[in-house]
Amino acid sequence: MKNIEQLHTIMNYIFEQAKVIEQIIKVDFGKECFIENSFKNYIKINDKYDIQNYPIPVVVVKDEFDIGLNLDGLFIEKFFKKNKIEQIDIIKLQLLFDIVELYGNENCMIDYYISGDSIGNIMEKINNSNEKEIGLAVYIAYDNLERLEIAEMIRAFQNCYI
């Protein structure tokens, strides 16, 4: 395998960043959290989702949200009861993060939000689903991380829902 050194460097970076984020959550936010290795996540490659049969680190902030570190960037994820989705400021999230997604807890492959959707359109799709909970995830590429420091990113995410 030619790219083993590159892959090794990337994976070490990702797992080291998970430790940094864990400390930020504990020290700056005073929250209980831990790192887990999460399997069976998805990554979008060439506009198609592909399952990851390898672990990625996820910082779990107890009873609040998760911060995952994937090959292409960070994501923050939180699940809401479907009737609470209207309280999320999607427009604000779009301005701050590279990607915003709303998806089902039971079927994460169904996207309920497409950029530009009105909250009415989003709610209609969600209300017509069998989902009880909807996942909200925001993504930022590692290349763009400097423009939004990790602690600021977490605060911005928290400030977009009530």
Domain map of the chain by residue range?
Answer: 4-158
Task: Quote the CA–CA distance of 99 and 77 in Å, as a whole number.
Answer: 12
Structure token pair of residue 151: 């602690």
Looking at domain 4-158, its CATH superfamily turns out to be Bira Bifunctional Protein; Domain 2 (3.30.930.10)
Structure token pair of residue 35: 């790192």
Measured between alpha carbons, how far is residue 93 from residues 7, 35, 46, 65 in Å?
A: 31, 25, 24, 15
pLDDT band at 33 (very low <50, low <70, confident <90, very high): very high
- Report the percent of the chain where pLDDT is more than 70: 96
Give me the pLDDT at residue 1, please: 60
Residue 116 has what DSSP assignment?
Answer: T
Q: Is the pLDDT of residue 68 over 80?
A: yes
Task: Quote the CA–CA distance of 45 and 133 in Å, as a whole number.
Answer: 26
> Is this prediction's pTM over 0.85?
yes
Which stretches of 28-141 are assigned E, i.e. beta strand? 33-38, 42-45, 48-51, 56-61, 65-69, 73-81, 99-104, 133-141
> Closest by alpha carbon to 98, among 157, 46, 42?
157
Mean pLDDT of all residues belonging to the chain:
88
Give me the pLDDT at residue 111, please: 87
**How much is the average pLDDT of 77-103?**
88
**How much is the average pLDDT of 132-159?**
85
